[in-house]
């Protein structure tokens, strides 16, 4: 795997991790198919093999790695298996696309600057362990904030605190429910994540992304 920038030719090899409905995966695949994203989905991995996202991968003929999580699995073993599958498929960039496990430090050490996430709020607001999906939207609505948005960021060991790559904002509509907000903003999130992937694919964002070291 090359260090310090993308090689000139060939589609960006993506690993997409899903645990849920998989609409982000669909959006990435659509962008690849219509030729607006120079990438290849080299692997879809899931901790929930029966989730709709895994079904979408199967239906579309995408290479699926079902990785269930038996209770007897030693700590870290699941991520070691994931890492081996990603390496086998020569994945360059890992996208957390509605993936619900916290990514452990050991895995991030191996994949530093090569894992991104889309979070459905204006980070650093509404962030951290337990803040995902509907929980985020419910918290946004409860806060009375007039606007919300989404953030694509590099994943680092501190949950939802990695460098921001792109952020977009839009208004909250009066009387809107968390479900309505979630549905309304998903296409906006999809466009945002695809735009960031394009920057990596074209080389305007280098791989691995250089995560600034914290100042003492």
Residue with tokens 């609409």: 23
- Which CB, 6 or 192, lies closer to ligand GRF? 192
Three-state SS sequence of 11-32: CEEEEEEECCCCHHHHHHHHHH
Candidates 120, 149, 162, 208; binder of ligand GRF (CB under 6 A) is 120
Candidates 6, 14, 20, 57; binder of ligand GRF (CB under 6 A) is 20
Please choose, out of 15-23, 37-45, 56-64, 68-76, the segment that lies near ligand GRF by the rule CB under 6 A: 15-23
As measured in angstroms, the least distance from the Cβ of 20 to ligand GRF is: 4
Instruction: Determine if 149 is a binding residue for ligand GRF (CB under 6 A).
Output: no
As measured in angstroms, the least distance from the Cβ of 136 to ligand GRF is: 8
Q: Residue with CB nearest ligand GRF?
A: 98
Structure tokens at 215: 């100042």
Instruction: Determine if 98 is a binding residue for ligand GRF (CB under 6 A).
Output: yes
- Which CB, 6 or 95, lies closer to ligand GRF? 95
Pairing mode of beta strands 147-154, 164-171 = antiparallel
Please choose, from the candidates 114, 212, 111, the residue with its C-alpha nearest in 3D space to the C-alpha of residue 161: 212
Please choose, out of 21-29, 140-148, 153-161, 163-171, the segment that lies near ligand GRF by the rule CB under 6 A: 21-29
Candidates 140, 189, 196, 208; binder of ligand GRF (CB under 6 A) is 189
Question: Is it true that the peptide bond before 131 is cis, omega within 30 degrees of 0?
Answer: no
Instruction: Determine if 115 is a binding residue for ligand GRF (CB under 6 A).
Output: no
Instruction: Determine if 118 is a binding residue for ligand GRF (CB under 6 A).
Output: yes
Report the alpha-carbon angle 141-145-148, nearest 5: 80
- Which CB, 24 or 83, lies closer to ligand GRF? 24
Give the catalytic positions in this structure: 119
Instruction: Determine if 93 is a binding residue for ligand GRF (CB under 6 A).
Output: no
Please choose, from the candidates 62, 22, 26, the residue with its C-alpha nearest in 3D space to the C-alpha of residue 41: 62
CA–CA gap between residue 72 and residue 55 (Å, rounded): 26
Q: In the 8-state DSSP scheme, what is residue 130?
A: T
Instruction: Determine if 23 is a binding residue for ligand GRF (CB under 6 A).
Output: yes
Pairing mode of beta strands 115-119, 93-96 = parallel
Please choose, from the candidates 54, 38, 56, the residue with its C-alpha nearest in 3D space to the C-alpha of residue 46: 54
Residues that bind ligand GRF (CB under 6 A): 20-24, 53, 97-98, 118-120, 133, 150, 189
């Amino acid at each position: 795997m090359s260090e310090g920038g993308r090689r000139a030719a060939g589609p960006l090899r993506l690993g997409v991790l899903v645990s849920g409905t998989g609409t982000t995966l669909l959006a990435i695949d659509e962008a690849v198919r219509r030729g607006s994203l120079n990438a290849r989905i080299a692997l879809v991995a899931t901790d929930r093999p029966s989730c709709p996202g895994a079904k979408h991968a199967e239906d579309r003929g995408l290479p699926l790695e079902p990785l269930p999580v038996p209770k007897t699995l030693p700590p870290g073993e699941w991520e070691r298996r994931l890492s081996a599958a990603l390496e086998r498929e020569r994945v360059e960039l890992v996208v957390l696309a509605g993936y619900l496990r916290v990514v452990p430090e050991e895995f991030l050490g191996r994949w530093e600057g090569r894992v991104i996430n889309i979070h459905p709020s204006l980070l650093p607001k509404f962030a951290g362990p337990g803040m995902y999906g509907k929980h985020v939207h419910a918290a946004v609505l409860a806060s009375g904030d007039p606007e919300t948005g989404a953030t694509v960021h590099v994943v680092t060991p501190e949950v939802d605190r990695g460098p921001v790559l792109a952020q977009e904002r839009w208004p909250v509509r009066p009387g809107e429910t968390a479900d309505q907000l979630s549905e309304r903003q998903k296409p906006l999130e999809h466009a945002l994540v695809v735009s960031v992937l394009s920057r990596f694919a074209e080389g305007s964002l280098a791989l691995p992304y250089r995560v600034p070291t914290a100042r003492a």
